[in-house]
Chains A and B, each alone.
Chain A
Amino acid sequence: GNSVTQMEGPVTLSEEAFLTINCTYTATGYPSLFWYVQYPGEGLQLLLKATKADDKGSNKGFEATYRKETTSFHLEKGSVQVSDSAVYFCALRRGQGGSEKLVFGKGMKLTVNP
């Protein structure tokens, strides 16, 4: 079946540090891949997405590249800020003709200290 495995943390970084959150997936066909972010006390927001191999999603300084050969979609940011403190979820959705459902990883809590 479809599944997502991601770093669970929690992780604490200092401001301006480099961030990588690993995400690997198992899926049939060609899934679409997403990163969601959940700020304290809020619901999930879409951070970025990629729908085919070698696509790079980017938003707010975050990037992730869809790597079919390694079935990965790692999230990176070159210089984190205190405002990036949140929980990050990797997710996949099966490709065209597949289920409408998203499959989520367990989430990783990031704290950024000044």
Chain B
Amino acid sequence: DVKVTQSSRYLVKRTGEKVFLECVQDMDHENMFWYRQDPGLGLRLIYFSYDVKMKEKGDIPEGYSVSREKKERFSLILESASTNQTSMYLCASSPPGGYNQPQHFGDGTRLSIL
């Protein structure tokens, strides 16, 4: 089974802090994704990466950056956390080119910015 592990289930940070959310997958997947999930808005894609050191903006990249130095690890960075970034963050991975292949999700990090 594919395992996608997010480093923290719950995280509390302060406004203005630099926040790192880590995600690791164990299936050698090329593609990795970061989403945020908010009530009434569903899942929105922040960034995704289709290879090491490659990244593409999703639908809501403002205020975020990402890092992919190794294939198995994809980090989401909140450069200067703000209260409107309080949310559930979900990481996912999938194999390349397999349009009929699902994405595999981690359990999520619930981030609160005070």
Q: Is the CB of A104 within 8 A of B99?
A: no
Q: Roughly how many angstroms separate A96 CA and B96 CA in the complex, as a whole number? A: 11
User: Does A20 sit within 8 A of B, measured CB to CB?
Assistant: no
- Chain A residues 78 to 99 lying within 8 A of chain B, measured CB to CB, are 89, 93-98
Partner of A96, one of B41, B58, B99, B106: B99
A27 to chain B, nearest CB (A): 12
Contact count band on A? 20 to 34
- Name B1-54 residues within 8 Å CB distance of A: 4, 31, 33, 40-43, 45, 48, 50
Q: Smallest CB–CB gap between A59 and chain B, Å?
A: 12
A25 within 8 A of B: no
Q: Is the CB of A101 within 8 A of B45?
A: yes
Measured in the bound complex, the distance between the Cα atoms of B92 and A49 in whole Å is 17
Interface pair A32/B100, CB less than 8 Å apart = yes
User: Does B103 touch A at the CB level, under 8 Å?
Assistant: yes
Q: Which 7 A-B pairs have the closest CB atoms?
A: A106-B42, A43-B105, A51-B100, A46-B102, A44-B105, A43-B107, A104-B43
